[in-house]
Structure 1
């Protein structure tokens, strides 16, 4: 039996569900456990994002390199058998740690894919896009550059010159909302009084802004019909959103910076080459974090370029998923069964 141990977040659960799906397709009984559970009895274990002290025959680790906490976490790597890296930058990072500390773990590059549950699946022929609908699903992460997109959208007169019916739908709550307000005040020097409204759904021109998680049915519908997904952050936190968009043939705007530029290229989206990189004073992670802000003129160019564009990103999504399945089946599961 394999136990997948995670903290209860949307992104980590998606990672866990995809791994569980692949393992069970290959006759490896798998359960998902919240890491706060006191006692866990398991043959093998897969830690996602954070390693905890557990006895197991084989120990696997699926990290988010940006949030890897060194010191004790680094020491615990000596007991890890395999590190599964979703991105090239993650692979390089843990390869360097291995060399510096003479660790013995194997590193496997798996590519980055996403679990699409049955209720979210759709056939290509059933995808119908609304060229006037843009989405920015930021969720609760503070690294999504929401303030910069909102200001750009307003400064361009809500992009009504593209079409009077164009609209942008944003989700942003918790830390995401707090950091957005901070960006408005401290970096952009922008009046953000409109967000003082206590309502959880705000209308700002043609921007619909949700300060809470939207219902699943609405979320899924918007993903299906949106023509463009704006994901202008370099952080891995946009990975599952980008993959969900790729699955639905949605044009994606992101920053040409690792790791998200592994998912999007100039044939299936828009990579913003011009951006500002600012050091972040974050002490809980060993990996050097930067805030990467898109150049506003380049963001404008990207939004205008994307209008009405049709792309076949679903093919790329399927190829990455196939690659990941093959790696797990030929390398990871083989090691587990030794």
Structure 2
């Protein structure tokens, strides 16, 4: 996923605008973060307790404050001046809702002097103060939307031009369309401070940012690397996602599994209507009664499905034919061991080094103009078919090959499949640049290598 191209801002034009209070509430956390950052830099000089706390088991119900932590320097009293500082920052957010509030406001108990740092919209030195690096500050909406005039040059500048590289933290879904504005720098970091219980937060909010800042252990558990189970290449368990398609070799897979009750668990995911069309009653009773087949026909939500794919280690992608192979590419991107059919393009996505190929013959369909036997005019002839034909026994033979592999061999195969996926991604990006140039009339597209050229390169 390209981060900036998939920002949640893409669909946010209809979102309600911030009230001053919402925006200030949304970014008041910056002041606390700044203070916490300042304190943590001091605390990290005592590396042992900090690292001990960071590594503390964060499983559901675990004690985050064991005696070793409570007895460490991390538990020392926070100075009264720091507590007063936080209190004054909070007060400023409520009292000065339309001002820029730097994290230094209230530091040392100072709030009334000209040096307290509040920046008002009518400040005669506004551009200089906004341009100044203040480590962190709380911004009202006007500070981001305002057009600043440089008196020395007469040039009009936006906030993002003044601070193009400084990350911005947004609280929950209160974005006000700011990251979607035309002047938002493409490489400007965007951070999300999430209250994970809020209904308004959707997947696009999490996926569209550079970092999610968690304030609780449960947030870190559910968003961090431990939220996904590590792939287990020791214990084989296959997943097959047929969806709504009857062209994924699902029948042959089920035929194989029903013959081999000793085979490992098969998770079969298919839409309810499609499943019952492929396996009508009473035959489907055999599937539901099989101890090593688990069928999911209910609608799987995107987040749940993504987690399912990300955690799976063994995939059955036995397509009869493919145009692009979306679910094969999902499996490759996930870094799993993949079984697919030995017919192109399936055996182009996965080679014998990066996948396990099911023995298949090739079938011609007269409806496919490039399939070798088109029934109409101008069809391609005298070429092999595009559709794989195989049996349940062929699937079983491929599964047995996987079962005979060592965990290390399986992991190496999965890693190779993922690397090949990256090759295709990068090549695709290159070809899209080429297409753009072609559309502009700047150059002709490159062609596939001929067999003679490929042979010459091999020599």
Q: Residue 238 of structure 1: CA displacement?
A: 7.3
Write the distance in 2 (CA, Å) between the matches of 1:229 and 1:262.
17
Show CA shifts across 1:171-226 (max 9, x none): 122674355238xx9xxxxx614179xxxxx5632211122432223322221222
Moved >4 Å (runs of 4+): 21-25, 121-124, 276-281
The aligned residue for residue 395 of structure 2 is 299
Distance 1:118 1:215 in 2: 16
Q: For 1:258, which of 344, 348, 364 is the aligned residue?
A: 344
Judged with a 3 Å threshold, the aligned counterparts in structure 2 of structure 1 residues 286 and 168 are, in CA distance, closer, same or farther, namely same
Aligned to 1:326: 430
Structure having the higher strand fraction is: 1
Instruction: Decide whether the 8 Å contact of 1:247 with 1:314 is kept in 2.
Output: yes
Tell me which residue corresponds to 2:318: 232
- Please list the CA deviations of residues 99-124 of structure 1 after superposition, one character each: whole Å capped at 9, or x if unmatched: xxxxxxxxxxxxxxxxxx938x9979
Larger Rg: 2
User: Contact 1:139–1:173 (CA<8 Å) still a contact in 2?
Assistant: yes
Q: Distance in 2 between matches of 1:276 and 1:132?
A: 27
Distance 1:327 1:279, change over 3 A: closer
Instruction: Give me the CA root mean square deviation.
Output: 3.8
Aligned residue number for residue 151 of structure 1: 255
User: CA–CA distance in 2 between the matches of 1:181 and 1:275?
Assistant: 23
Q: Distance in 2 between matches of 1:154 and 1:222?
A: 24
> Aligned ranges for residues 1-338 of structure 1 at < 5 Å?
118=207, 128-130=230-232, 131-159=235-263, 166-173=264-271, 176-177=274-275, 180-181=278-279, 192-194=283-285, 204-236=290-322, 239-272=325-358, 274-278=359-363, 286-288=369-371, 292-307=388-403, 308=407, 309-310=410-411, 311-312=414-415, 313-329=417-433, 331-338=434-441
Q: Secondary structure of the equivalent of 2:237?
A: strand
Q: How far is 1:334 from its partner?
A: 0.9
Aligned pairs, how many? Answer: 207
Please state whether the residue corresponding to 1:262 is helix, strand or coil: helix
**Using CA pairs below 8 Å that are at least 6 residues apart, which structure has the higher relative contact order?**
1
Secondary structure, counterpart of 2:279 in structure 1: helix
CA distance in 1, matches of 2:357, 2:398: 8
Where 1:153 maps in the other structure, the secondary structure is helix
Distance in 2 between the 1:123 and 1:263 partners? 28
**Deviation string, structure 1 residues 13-69 (Cα, Å, up to 9, x no partner):** xxxxx8xx69969xxxx99xxxxxxxxxxxxxxxxxxxxxxxxxxxxxxxxxxxxxx
Q: Which runs of 5+ in 1 are unaligned?
A: 1-17, 32-116, 160-165, 186-190, 197-201
Summarize deviations over 1:265-316 as a string: whole Å, max 9, x none.
Answer: 11111012x22445557x5x54447653324333222112223421202211
Task: Output one character per residue of 1:111-166: Cα deviation in whole Å (capped at 9) or x when no partner.
Answer: xxxxxx938x9979x7711333210011111211211101101101141xxxxxx3
In the alignment, is the contact (CA less than 8 A) between 1:136 and 1:168 conserved in 2? yes
Please report the TM-score for the alignment, with normalisation by the length of structure 2: 0.39
Q: 1:257 to 1:158 in 2, by over 3 A?
A: same
Gaps of 5+ in 2: 12-205, 209-222, 372-384, 442-459
Cα distance in 2 for partners of 1:211, 1:278 equals 30
* Superposition TM-score, scaled by structure 1 size: 0.52
Q: How far apart, CA to CA, are the structure 2 residues paired with 1:286 and 1:327? A: 25
- Mapped to 1, the partners of 2:286 and 2:438 lie a distance apart of 52
